[in-house]
Structure 1
Amino acid sequence: MDFIFNKNRISNKKLTIKIFFLILGLIHIGIGAALFVLSNVGSDPFNVFMQGISNHTILTIGMANSMVSLIWFMIIFFVSRKYIRLGTVFSVFILGPMIDLAMFVFSPIINNELPFSMRIITMLIGCNIIAFGVAVVYNVNLGMVPNDIMSVMIAEKTKFQFRWVRITYDVSIVVIGFLMGGVFGIGTIVCAVLTGPLIQFFMPISKKYITKYIT
Structure 2
Amino acid sequence: MNSSTIKRIIMTFVGIFLTSISVSIFKASLFGTDPFSCFAIGIWNLSQIKFSISYMITNAVLLLGVFIFDKHYIGLGTLLNLFLAGYVVEKGMQLLDFYLPQRTLTVRILLLIVAIVLMCFASSLYFTANMGVSPYDACALIITKKTKFPFRACRIGTDLLVTTLGFFMGATVGIGTLVTAFGMGPLIEFFNRTCARPILYHKTSEISLLKRSAMH
Q: TM-score range by the shorter chain?
A: 0.7 to 0.9
| Structure 1, 25-34 or 101-110: larger mean CA deviation | 101-110
TM-score (norm 2): 0.86
Count of residues in correspondence between the two structures? 203
Distance in 2 (alpha carbons) for counterparts of 1:95 and 1:80: 22
Shift of 1:99: 0.7
1:132-151 to 2 correspondences below 5 Å: 132-151=121-140
Distance in 2 (alpha carbons) for counterparts of 1:131 and 1:90: 18
Partner residue of 1:32 out of 22, 26, 40: 22
- Measured against aligned partners, the alpha-carbon deviations of 1:119-147 in whole angstroms (never above 9, x if no partner) come to 02101211111111110011112121111
Supply the AA of the counterpart residue of 2:110.
Answer: I
State whether residues 37 and 47 of structure 1, in contact with CA within 8 Å, keep that contact through their aligned partners in structure 2. Answer: no
TM-score (norm 1): 0.87
Which structure 2 residue ranges, 5 or more long, are not aligned? 206-216
Partner residue of 2:105 out of 93, 116, 122: 116
> Which residue in 1 is equivalent to 2:10?
20
1:3-152 to 2 correspondences below 5 Å: 11-111=1-101, 113-152=102-141
Distance in 2 (alpha carbons) for counterparts of 1:211 and 1:63: 37
Which structure 1 residue ranges, 5 or more long, are not aligned? 1-10
Shift of 1:13: 4.6
**1:167 and 2:125 equivalent?**
no
> Which residue in 1 is equivalent to 2:188?
199
Shift of 1:212: 4.2
RMSD: 1.9
> Which residue in 1 is equivalent to 2:173?
184
Larger radius of gyration: 2
Distance in 2 (alpha carbons) for counterparts of 1:119 and 1:26: 23
> Which residue in 2 is equivalent to 1:6?
none
State whether residues 39 and 110 of structure 1, in contact with CA within 8 Å, keep that contact through their aligned partners in structure 2. Answer: no
State whether residues 38 and 103 of structure 1, in contact with CA within 8 Å, keep that contact through their aligned partners in structure 2. Answer: yes
Supply the AA of the counterpart residue of 1:56.
Answer: L
Supply the AA of the counterpart residue of 1:103.
Answer: M
Shift of 1:192: 2.6
| Structure 1, 11-20 or 85-94: larger mean CA deviation | 11-20
Shift of 1:89: 1.9
State whether residues 159 and 181 of structure 2, in contact with CA within 8 Å, keep that contact through their aligned partners in structure 1. Answer: no
Shift of 1:91: 2.0
Shift of 1:12: 4.8
State whether residues 135 and 203 of structure 1, in contact with CA within 8 Å, keep that contact through their aligned partners in structure 2. Answer: yes
Percent same amino acid at aligned positions?
Answer: 28
Structure 1 residue ranges, 4+ long, deviating more than 6 angstroms after superposition: none
Supply the AA of the counterpart residue of 1:23.
Answer: F
- Measured against aligned partners, the alpha-carbon deviations of 1:4-34 in whole angstroms (never above 9, x if no partner) come to xxxxxxx355433321221111111000011
State whether residues 34 and 177 of structure 2, in contact with CA within 8 Å, keep that contact through their aligned partners in structure 1. Answer: yes
State whether residues 156 and 181 of structure 2, in contact with CA within 8 Å, keep that contact through their aligned partners in structure 1. Answer: no
Shift of 1:70: 1.3
